[in-house]
Amino acid sequence: MALVVLLGPIAYVWFTSRDVRVTPSAIETLEQRPIIIVFGAGVWPDGTPTPYLQNRLDTAKRVYDADKTEKILVSGDNSTEHYNEPVAMRNYLVKSGVPEENIVLDYGVLNTYDTYHRAKEIFKVEKAFVTTQAYHLPRAVMTCRVLGIESVGIESLKQGRDFTAAYIFREFISMYKAGGELLLRPKPLITGNPEPIEYQNKQP
């Protein structure tokens, strides 16, 4: 019984999100959505994204190149003068060929919940793709949809092994933390005035 109580919520999230989670091979079959959301996963001291983050950004680039989205929203930690995930993510995407004007930066987030809360309340996102590693994707999609963004999750591209036991354990704990956040709906530490994203050519 204890095992059911412990694992039941996690199994529920995985099961109920299965129809809105896809692999990169399905990108060409997806219907257009105006934006894809990418949140940070670490930046090296030289300002380059970690392999985890590169995988997410490369997936977003593939979605953009397939003409399935117009904008890429990058969000992440900018808590110190010398650590800036959103800028590192933008620089990587620009070098990869994404026009800078189609990249939206959100400097005010520290976790998954903050990313989607601000996407909804600050940037007025209603419909989006999200991309992250497979172990994280069910929680990401659940959080996004509960907060009112109609989302489809795309498993990020892989470059070798894309998870470790430590990440799986961390995700296990984070799943329960997310449940509390979605129940209590706290405001992110950093809020602000609405800044609706403007779309031009590729919006469905």
User: Containing H/E element for 73?
Assistant: strand 71-75
The residues, any chain, with a CB within 8 Å of residue 79's CB and separated by 6 or more, are: 110
Q: How confident is the model at residue 5 (pLDDT cuts 50, 70, 90)?
A: very low
pLDDT value at 15 more than 90 = no
CB-based contacts of 65: which residues, under 8 Å, 6+ apart?
97
Mean pLDDT of 42-71: 93
> Which sign, positive or negative, has the C-alpha torsion 108, 114, 115, 119?
negative
Type and span of the H or E element at 13:
helix 2-16
Question: What is the reported pLDDT for 186?
Answer: 62
Model pLDDT for residues 156-176, shown as the tens digit of each residue: 987 655 555 655 666 566 554
Domains and CATH numbers, the chain: 17-184 (3.40.50.620)
Q: Quick one: which of 101, 149, 100, 105 has its CA closest to 129?
A: 149
Distance CA 119, CA 146 (A): 13
Most confident range (mean pLDDT) of 45-49, 97-101, 120-124, 174-178 is 97-101
Q: What is the pLDDT of residue 56?
A: 94
